[in-house]
Structure 1
Amino acid sequence: MVNYRYLGNSGLKVTEITYGNWVTHASQVDDTDAIATVHAALDAGITTFDTADTYANTAAEVVLGKAISGQRREGLEIFTKVYWPIGPMGPNDAGLSRKHIFDGINGSLQRLGVDYVDLYQAHRYDYETPIEETMQAFADVVRQGKALYIGVSEWTAEQLREGAALAKELKFQLVSNQPQYSALWRVIEEKVIPTSAELGISQIVWSPMAQGVLSGKYLPGQPVPEGSRATDEKSGAHFISRFLRDDVLTAVQKLKPIADEAGLSMPQLAIAWVLQNPNVASALVGASRPEQIASNVAASGVVLEPAIITAIDEALSPVAERDPEQTYTVSPKSRPGS
């Protein structure tokens, strides 16, 4: 089964493995298989589910809503997000304005078939909307009972600090940040994680397997496997391209004996590695088949020996990205679709 951790400085517990449906539901996987995979996650002990209105242009929320229909709502932690363009993508169909946040939460609740979400997240930082307006809107969403907690995704250390101060002033909690983080992508370690730990904010990390590269299935000097994420633009092929260099793929192959020594598969090692960081509350994983769930769940509760951590660092250090300046490049400087 899956262990639980507290989300930020709150009383909310979430599973160490969060089921995310970014590139699977209403995209890679038909609805029947998607629902079966969610049910497999529930059977394996996962109770925390993450989606976003923008995934498959709102359709992924609909699929998740169908999958959790009939489940005991109090036993689930449902997360969704707002920011990226949805619908016809008009001038107010994106960003973190008060209008879009309220349109967003109302639409998400309807699609998910729930009265509230446990965590509502700013999917990026909106440079075109005053942060005071954004945080006031989130405060009102919480006061109306439409979300219990507020989080963000890919905010810089400075943005987290300003957002947390406003949240405290408005008497609600900013409890989480959702950044990319893996043994190959460590840009949050220098600034974001120390700031978050100080502020009582947890990380819910996406792509702990570096878009599948840390699974070891991509081999140096070889074509990418047919049907893999690297061949599918809808599945984030542009995200994985940064890791498909021969020096990176050669370094990743050095993890195989390390995983064997730890008694783990390479995907399990990658997920367990991010969970060793005490500021990480949960690792986001997706699945296109129910049988993938059991393998991912086995990473929960794993304690990696210091020698294993050192060996991973030595194998990947020459190719791992650590530059904290990368955290400033994620949120668009102008609102998408406007």
Structure 2
Amino acid sequence: MTVDDVKALGHAIRGEVAKAITGQSDTLDLMLTALFAGGHILLEGPPGTAKTLTARAFAAAIGVDYGRIQFTPDLMPGDVVGGTIFNFRTGEFSLTKGPVFCDLLLADEINRTPPKTQAALLEAMQERSVTFDGTTHQLSPNFMVVATQNPIEHQGVYPLPEAQLDRFLFKHRVGYPDLAQERAIIAQHGAAGADPFARYPITAQTDAATLAAARAVVDSVRLVDEVVDYVATLIRATRTNTQLEVGASPRAGAMLARAARARAALEGRDYVIPDDVKLLAIPALRHRVLLSPAAQIDGRQVEQIVTDMVDATEAPR
């Protein structure tokens, strides 16, 4: 497989998802980048903006094992990862796998469950394994979390801990469609009780072997020293910016570089350019930094601060 094949594969997946989803091209681009970079993505947006539907369509288009957890306040860690249950008939303990044992996991409304349950995903997202009763169980090498959360509701929700936010490659804010897209959505999905997957069947465009080959291509994309220095300088700038109380971690730099490689491959290039880093900086950093109290009082936005840092950091030619 070559970078041209990765580009063609990305185009084919976009086409299949478009059968059920109108718009959301920026969301899909980041999901594809996360997929080929081996990362996870957090989608934040108001209800009814097709966050869940996009994740379902994406899973169908890449042909992987799909799992879903509807996070609720009474959800327990065992409901996520599973555990061992004593079988009274056999007198032995048997392994019961939770929904986390899949390829693509939709963590729907992840901020509705307490931090104790959210933490059940920490090991799974970082190491692609889960441990219970002293035994470590490996997950799929293609394991990917697509989490959603609603920014509007403030009652009955629990903010995600910084340690978990740092494990998401991207945080993407899903907004409302423009007028033309909204008219198309109403025309396409306005039939009462219509199931978009029944009306517009999605065909899988890849499999486990193809995904592994695509990720191998991403690994081979060239990242020259000048671009490495650029990423490092940008990450370190978040720690010295007076408007930020907490800057990005070293993990953020490594994941941003990996994402830039994936984006380059999706563009049909076998090398990373500074523009790849610039375009991914906001979704890769907005959830990893915290505003200082003074910046919050001034009404500053994280996205604008990151944009200013990108503009102030000299990019290699």
What's the TM-score once normalised by structure 1's chain length?
0.29
Specify the structure having the higher radius of gyration (Cα).
2
Higher helix share: 2
